[in-house]
Amino acid sequence: MGATKTGFYTEQQEAMATITKALGHPARIAIIQELAKNSACQCGELVLSVGLAQSTISQHLKELKNAGLIKGSLTDDRPCYCLDREKLAEAASFLKETMLQASMQVSDCC
């Protein structure tokens, strides 16, 4: 497989690739859904609701945080996580725009 060409893709394309890669695991989707139900969660709460080991949850949280989809802070000396609703809204808007463009295309290709 060839190397990625630096500067070939737009910032928006790079950002969406990072986000979709982070969402490419069902456990991370489950974490996002759990965080959407609650204003914030601590890792232990996610362990109980998602059903994975604490270390596994922590690794998934790290990936989601690196992608900018969640924020973390310390509450009572324990990490607390919440959704970055602005970043999720940007991703949703991009996908909606892309789907709208696709629906406007007239094609009998497939």
Q: Is residue 49 within 8 Å of residue 34, measured between CB atoms?
A: yes
C-alpha torsion sign, points 76, 40, 64, 57: positive
- pLDDT given for residue 65 in this prediction: 95
Annotation: CATH topology of 11-100: Arc Repressor Mutant, subunit A (1.10.10)
Domain boundaries, the chain: 11-100
Q: What is the tens place of the pLDDT at every residue in 1-51?
A: 456 666 789 998 999 999 999 999 999 999 999 999 988 888 888 999 999
pLDDT at residue 91 tops 80: yes
| CA neighbor of 87 nearest in space, from 20, 6, 24, 25 | 20
